[in-house]
Every structure is written in C-alpha cells, then in structure tokens.
Amino acid sequence: MKSFLHFWRRFRRNRAALVALFVLLAITLIAIVGPYVYTVDPFEMMGRASTPPSKRFWLGTDVSGRDVLAGLIHGARVSLLIGVAASLCATLVGLIVGAVAGYYGRAVDNILMRCTDFFLTIPSFVFAVVLIAIFRPSVTNVTIAIGIVSWPPVARLVRAEFIAQREREYVLAARALGMSDIEIMIRQILPNALPPVIVVSSLLVATAILTESGLSFLGLSDPNVISWGYMIGVGRTVLRLAWWMPAIPGIAILVTVLCINLVGEGLNDALNPRVQRR
Amino acid sequence: MSALLQVEGLSVQFATDRGPVRAVEDLSFSVAAGETVAMVGESGSGKSTAALSLLRLIEPAGGQVSAGRILFDDVDLLGLSSRQLRGVRGSRIGMIFQDPMMALNPIFTIGWQISESLREHLGLSRRAARDRTIELLQRVGIPAPEQRIDQYPHNLSGGMRQRVMIAMALACRPSLLIADEPTTALDVTVQAQVLALINTLKDEFGMAVLLITHDLGVVWETAQRVVVMYAGRKVEEGSVSDVFERPEHPYTRGLLKTARLTDDRAGPLVEIPGTVPNAFEMPHGCRFAPRCAQAFARCEDGVPPDIKVAVGHDVACLLAERAP
C-alpha cells in the first residue's frame, strides 16, 4: 500500500501521463458500460446511408445507414480487448524467452535468440495476415496472431536487461544467500529489468490496436464484431464525400494510442527509482 | 580437533578461448570453529576465486572446480545437490562482498532484502521477519533501525551498506562467514569500524571467519591464522604471529616489507620487482621463482612441496629445506 502511494506520487508528477490516464480510463469505461447504455446495434440499419452528424445521429451514419456512434462504442471494446490481451501475451512470451536466454547465456541463449531472429525477419504485419488467413478470423485468433508477431522485441529487450543484471554483485549475493535460479530471476533480476519492459509492453498495446485496425481494415477480423479498423475500412471508399466516416474511428484510434504511449512514459518515470525528478 | 571447514587439494579452472586456465591450484587449508583465518595475496592470486568456489558460486561465472574436496562439517560441498547446497548457502555459511553498493539490490528496501533470507531459510512470517530484521540492524550498529529498515540502499552510506550486508549474511546465524575483501571499498575510518564489528559478532555468535584481503594490517589485527596465496597457489600458512615474525617464503617476506608494518616508515617505498606471471605462461616450478632474489636452479624443476617449519607453519619453498 505504502509503495503504491509512493508510485502514485511519482506518477502524478508527469501531468501529460496523468491526463492520458484519465482519458484512457474514460475510454475503458465507455468500452465496458457503453454498449449497455447506448443500446443501438452497430450492425443494424438505422437510417439513411451516409448522413453527416446530426441531432438524431450524433456522429452520422455509414454507407449502409448504420449508426457510427454505436460502432465507435462497440468497437472500443474489441480494440482495447485485443490490444491489451495481445500485449500481455507478447510480454509474457518475451519475458520468459528473454529471461531464460539472458540468465543462462551460452547455448540456451544461442538457441532461443536464433528462434527470436527467425520471427524478427518476417515482417510482422504480413506474418499476422498469414496467420489469420490460416486460422480464420476470430477475436481469439486475432489476439494470438498479434501476440505471436509482437513478442520478439520484448524478448530481446528482456535478454539485454538480464545480461546486464546477471553479472551484478547482488545476484551473486542472492545466490550466496541460498536462492535458486528461478527465485533470482523472478524476485531479484526481474524487478530491476521490468521498467523498460513495462514501457515497451504499454507501447505494444498501442501497436496491437493499430495492427488489429489494419487487419480489420483489410477485412481480416472477426466478421461478427465491429471494430474501429473495420469502420475505417468501410468508410475508406467514400472518404471524399463523407470524411467523418473514416475520420471518427481514426481519431478514436489516434487518441487511444497516444494516451497509452503517454501513460507508458509516465509509468517509466514512476517505476524507475533511478529517474529522479528532472 | 576436526576442522569446521577443510579444503583439500582444491583446483579451480576457467575455460577460455586459449584453453583452460587454472586460477587456483591444489589449495589446502582449514578453518576451525570460532577461528579467523585470513587469506592474503595480491590481485590475481586466486584468493577471491577460492572463496567463491567454496560455496560453488564460481560456476555461473564460467569457473569449474576440477579437483579437490571442500568438507564443511565433514560433508563434501562439491557432492551436494543444488537443493542441498542452497540449504547451506546463507544459512550455515554466510558471505559478504567487496562492494556493498553492488551487492545490494538497488530497488528493494534493505528490510525486504534481509527478511527475504530469514523467510527463505527459517520460514518466518512477514511480521516476525521484520522484528528480527530490526533486531539485526540494531546488532550491526545501524542507528534508528525502525526507520532505516524501509530505506533503499542508495539512501545509505558505504559503511552502513556494508553493515546491512553483514546483517544479511548473519541473519540465519551461520557457523562460517566468508568475507571477500569486506573493507576494500570503504574509507579507512569506516574500515576499522566494520572490522571491529565483524570481530565482535564473531565472538558473540561463535562463528568462524574466512577473511579474504590484501591488507596485511587487517590480517594482523583480526586473524589468528593466515594463508598466503601467490598465483593460484598457497605459498605459506601458519599462525599470524609465526608468519609475521618469522616469514619463511621470500614472497611473504616481500609482502611484509611492502606493508611496512614494523619498520620506521622512513625511506622509499619497498616493492616486489616484477609482476604475477601470465596465467597462460605459468612457470613449471615455483611460481614465484622468476621474481625471487634467492631463487636457484632447483626452483624451476618442480612445484616445491609444503615444508613444515614449525607446528602449524607450512611453507612451499625449497629454502626452508636448507634451514636446520
């Protein structure tokens, strides 16, 4: 509790991160309760096609006469869910691979890093497209596919941190106190290696949202759920006639991704005791 | 009397691109319960490597014990499983390191780090571990331990940090403390305090201390017996008074001269000419021979045997043979 208060005091110092955090919380709140409050079905034809924002449709309708506001609210759910879940997946895999490779070094490191390199050589978006094409689009598969293409940078970062930390004398001291390798990795080194990882995985949430949007823009997302990328894809053809159609979900993505990045930076400032006030 | 720690024929080697390098060769010594044994030698003499290999801490660094036995309470530590070994580390043998800044985890409070060991080995509850930790901090002379316990290593001075390290190492009341140059990184005034603290705690806890150092002044003040190392080998061993008053090995004599513990400290600084031989080009015979003013032909023929010159005083030098 005490350490959380300490963390909060440090986090609060970064005004931009604080504002971004509140915006993100608002978006999350909308994603969670929005669909129950604004009960319009985002796939239902509600009015005339391509009407600009009006009193009846606050954000207008799309080419099929569907309510853009409803799409935006329902889409927030999918975007955030996939973004967070895929980032967690990638972070977890990256942590395990990177920690083991960095801590044990030598042959273990070689094998794991060549595997990582293999994944890094494939352009991640193309790789995701291929995975979705093979495993058919569903929310779960999209999440897993994004997770699979995003873990290598985390693994490399974690490995570098572990290599830097494993030679430190406190690791030797911990070993001299009778701690096992696993304990040393998780309880001693990981907390030291975590700050940059937290920053990267918060950025990963942002990239995952972008990747998901890209996939659904190409029509490679779950056809049964609406997402921001899908809405942009639908509005793309009428960009010059009805700019709000792709612009509104586009702004939603921009704001969300920006806020995530700002919060990530704030986390870095707050979590890293070496970053004293600047 | 059977020794608490008995090291027999210990050899440690590191694999390098140019083949294996022996950092420690055929080292034997013992530490009795409640005794302080100092291991001295210059940088690269293998004393720290020897200390680390006692708890098999050398393996992650790429070192390997290639021969010998390390008997602690008559159990060979080299034969233990890693699980059994972890039970010995920290609970029956404690260790403190040279740089107390580096040896403490920078992002945890000192209290967390000390109680971690208590909970690990003694299975204490969070509450009980905290109380024990405050008690320990008080024992090692940290003022206002109730406040200090929640501070981070960077809030403490070097001397304070070494005290915290000592508290950590002694948390489970080990019967042997290995101190690897515990005062080297500290100010001279603080050095004396830390040494005095180790001495007091040693008597209080009835533990033995293996003190690794290059400071002969420290040896004189704290140890009962001394093991002199040169280029990975033990060259002389004996009680501190014997070795300091009647050093037999030319290297020991040189060391004592450079330390200037006895002379009037006037005149130019004394030095031992030459340097420690390269690990890849170790002389076949006595390793000190190339630097030794009294070396003769047979010194290069083979490794000199340990020669007993007095009770408990051994020297690995052929000169001792000639002495009556």
Q: Number of structural domains, chain B?
A: 1
Is any Cβ of chain B less than 8 angstroms from the Cβ of A173?
yes
Residue type, B212: I
CA B65/CA B62 separation, integer angstroms: 10
Residue A11 lies in a domain: no
* Closest-CA residue of chain B to A194: B107
- Render pLDDT for A144-176 as a digit per residue (tens, 0 to 9): 999 999 999 999 999 999 998 888 888 988 888
**Strand pairing partners for A206?**
none
Query: Model's pTM, two decimal places?
Result: 0.80
CATH of the domain at A189: 1.10.3720.10
CB nearest A176 (choices: B55, B87, B107): B55
**Strand pairing partners for B273?**
none
Range of the domain at A125: 67-271
A172 with B57: Cβ contact below 8 A: yes
How confident is the model at residue B234, as a pLDDT? 92
Average pLDDT, chain B: 86
DSSP B183: T
Long-range contacts of B318-324 (CB under 8 A, 24+ apart): B318/B286, B319/B248, B319/B250, B319/B294, B320/B248, B320/B249, B323/B248
Residue type, B251: Y
- Render pLDDT for B165-219 as a digit per residue (tens, 0 to 9): 888 888 888 999 999 888 887 888 888 888 888 999 899 888 999 999 988 888 9
Averaged over B116-136, what is the pLDDT? Answer: 87
Confidence of residue A91 (pLDDT cuts 50, 70, 90): very high
Is any Cβ of chain B less than 8 angstroms from the Cβ of A1?
no
Best residue in A10, A167, A168, A169 for a mutation probing chain B (most B CBs within 10 Å)? A169
Question: ipTM more than 0.85?
Answer: no
CA nearest to A67, candidates A30, A40, A96: A40
DSSP B22: E
How confident is the model at residue A277, as a pLDDT? 46
Residue B139 lies in a domain: no
Confidence of residue A278 (pLDDT cuts 50, 70, 90): very low
Residue B39 lies in a domain: yes
CA B121/CA A149 separation, integer angstroms: 42
Task: Give A259→chain B minimum CA distance, Å.
Answer: 28
Range of the domain at B257: 5-102+177-191+204-322
- Render pLDDT for A210-238 as a digit per residue (tens, 0 to 9): 888 888 888 888 878 888 888 888 888 88
A170 with B154: Cβ contact below 8 A: no
CB nearest A192 (choices: B52, B107, B169): B107
A3: left (phi over 0), alpha (psi -120 to 50) or beta: alpha
Burial class (CB in 10 A: 0-12, 13-18, 19+), B158: middle
How confident is the model at residue B265, as a pLDDT? 61
CB nearest B90 (choices: A178, A192, A273): A178
pLDDT at A127 > cutoff 60: yes
DSSP B277: P
pLDDT at A124 > cutoff 80: yes
pLDDT at B57 > cutoff 80: yes
A176 with B89: Cβ contact below 8 A: yes
Residue B87 lies in a domain: yes
Cβ-contact A61, A234 below 8 angstroms = no
Question: Which 3 state secondary structure label does DSSP give B227?
Answer: strand
B103 with A173: Cβ contact below 8 A: yes
B95 with A192: Cβ contact below 8 A: no
Cα dihedral B273, B277, B278, B279 in deg (nearest 10)? -150
Alpha carbon B59 to its chain centroid, in Å, reads 18
Averaged over B44-58, what is the pLDDT? Answer: 88
CATH of the domain at B283: 3.40.50.300
Percent of chain B with pLDDT over 90: 24
- Render pLDDT for A15-53 as a digit per residue (tens, 0 to 9): 888 899 999 999 999 888 888 888 778 777 777 777 777
Residue A213 lies in a domain: yes
Question: Which 3 state secondary structure label does DSSP give B79?
Answer: helix
How confident is the model at residue A2, as a pLDDT? 60
DSSP letters spanning B122-145? H---HHHHHHHHHHHHHHTT-SSH
Residue A191 lies in a domain: yes
- Render pLDDT for B76-119 as a digit per residue (tens, 0 to 9): 999 899 889 988 998 899 998 887 777 888 888 899 988 888 88
Cβ-contact B246, B252 below 8 angstroms = no
Residue A173 lies in a domain: yes
Q: Number of structural domains, chain A?
A: 1
